[in-house]
Amino acid sequence: MTIVLDWLNLFVRWVHVIAAIMWIGDSFLFMWLDSHLTAPTKPREGAVVGELWMTHSGGFYEVIKRKSLAQGELPAQLYWFKWESYTTWLSGFALLCVVYYGGNAAFLVDPSVSSLTAGQAVALSLGLLPTAFLVYELLWATPLSKDNRAFGLVGFGLLSALGYALTHLYSGRGAFLQMGATMATVMAANVFFRIIPSQRHMLAATKAGTPVDTSYGLRAKGRSVHNHYLTLPVLFTMLSNHFPSTYGHAQAWLVLAVLFLFGASLKYAMNFRSKTHPVVLTSLVGSLGGFIFLTMPTREALPGLEAYAHARPVSFATVDAIVQSRCVSCHAAKPGTAMFSGPPQGIVLETKAQIGLHAERIYLRAVATKTMPLGNLTGITQAERDLLGAWVAQGAHVDAPGPVELPQAAAPSPPQPAADPQARADALFTTVCASCHGADGRAETDTAKALSPHPRAYVDAAWQKSVTDEHLAKVIVEGGAAVGKSALMPANPDLAREPLVVQALVQKVRSFAP
């Protein structure tokens, strides 16, 4: 089944990329045509507004633009540019469902960012798509529609605000992709609901022999121009998942805003070249400089490493326990998760030599940028990240001596009751515990199959009778090692401050008893 899903994923991605190339290429071509049209050089029939000669692949092409057609000018074959848009959006939405909504929304949800459950994250994502277009429609109903510069400034402010909100609700990677999907939805909806219907309305008038209202064409062109200037920002957000320095930045929303500004400014400069307005040139250079400044590596090869200079020695056994429980479900020769048929980017972390080889990458992704584990599916804690950072700062020696010493619970502060302990417990179980123990408590997940010893099956009646609630609470907070069990069951010391949530988690475990 996994190979079938891989084939389907590959096929849909191909369709998406090819359709997007065609759609964006059309947008680039027609904007270029409009900006290079010249007045007719000879008398022409009809409502001609410009002409253009081009040469390509050994031939010569004459382009004539009319703002409307007379009844006798209707061609036998009229080519529409719409399916590129529809196919791009439909294939993109399919990928969004498979990659970001599937797998318990692992790429969207990050418990270290917010307490959104998988269901809430998906519902919010789906709701944002039509909502964004409705807001855009409301802006068109205002005087802003008559001034592209004012519309652009307001749009930039709204997109930046949305980016700020999303980076505080979703994982960094999920927030960037959601921004891209939201803008792409506005673009595709423009084509489907406004641009194509306007053109159909004008053609219907022509066929009926009634006066053609060319204002429909002007409004359609306005929408098309907006789509055009969104193309590069959408492309940047869609490609960002390959560059953790963008979505993994501490101020990821600001990186997004700079990308928006740079993309729109670059597109303007591409269109007008030497005629580009000085303000746009300043925006282009300034946003590029800002992006470089925000994402450039520090002078250190490993940023922030000095913070671990005086940390206590960390044994490789401790590092290995963290990597095996937090990373190997994906980074194995045969990943234990259905999300991957092979190790991501070919990186395997199963052996001592492999962990040592990739020590710096582990630091950059798990410690410096915190972009791994994906969506923090495996629930790595800040204390565990700090142990990895200290080990790398100490030389990343794979022979560092000592036993497994995973973080233990700190002395609890006065209880801080959660607003809804049960909801918080359910969210934690879904995003952290279920990856190993299963949503049904049977511990039959792909991740569970990859771990040794095998995670506990909560449906085991004999085990349920053998442990007390206090024992379960201790394991949840202090980890398996605290009760003489496997260190692969990590500690969750932050929960020491949330006793009601711990109690709710214990009852969640008890609910699986047959």
Those residues whose C-beta lies under 8 Å from the C-beta of residue 72, and which sit 6 or more positions away, are: none
**pLDDT for position 258:** 97
- Tokens 């969210």 map to which residue? 427
Token pair for residue 124? Answer: 């919010």
CA distance linking residue 113 with residue 427, whole number of Å:
13
Token pair for residue 73? Answer: 């000018």
User: 421-510 has which CATH code?
Assistant: 1.10.760
- pLDDT, one tens digit per residue, over 181-228 is 999 999 999 999 999 999 999 999 999 999 999 999 999 999 999 999
Using a pLDDT cut of 70, give the percent of the chain over it.
92
- pLDDT, one tens digit per residue, over 110-151 is 877 888 888 999 999 999 999 999 999 999 999 999 999 999
- Tokens 């930039």 map to which residue? 156
pTM above 0.75, yes or no: no
ω into residue 278 within 30 of 0, thus cis?
A: no
- pLDDT, one tens digit per residue, over 152-178 is 999 999 999 999 999 999 988 899 999
CA distance linking residue 370 with residue 249, whole number of Å:
9
**pLDDT for position 372:** 85
CA distance linking residue 374 with residue 103, whole number of Å:
11
The number of C-alpha atoms within 13 Å of 264 and in the hemisphere containing its C-beta is 23
Q: What mean pLDDT do residues 462-467 have?
A: 92
Pick 467 or 487 by higher pLDDT.
Answer: 467
**pLDDT for position 414:** 45
Q: Model confidence at 299, in pLDDT bands (50, 70, 90)?
A: very low
CA distance linking residue 374 with residue 377, whole number of Å:
6
Domain positions in the chain are 1-65, 92-296, 305-393, 421-510
Residue 99 has pLDDT above 90, yes or no: no
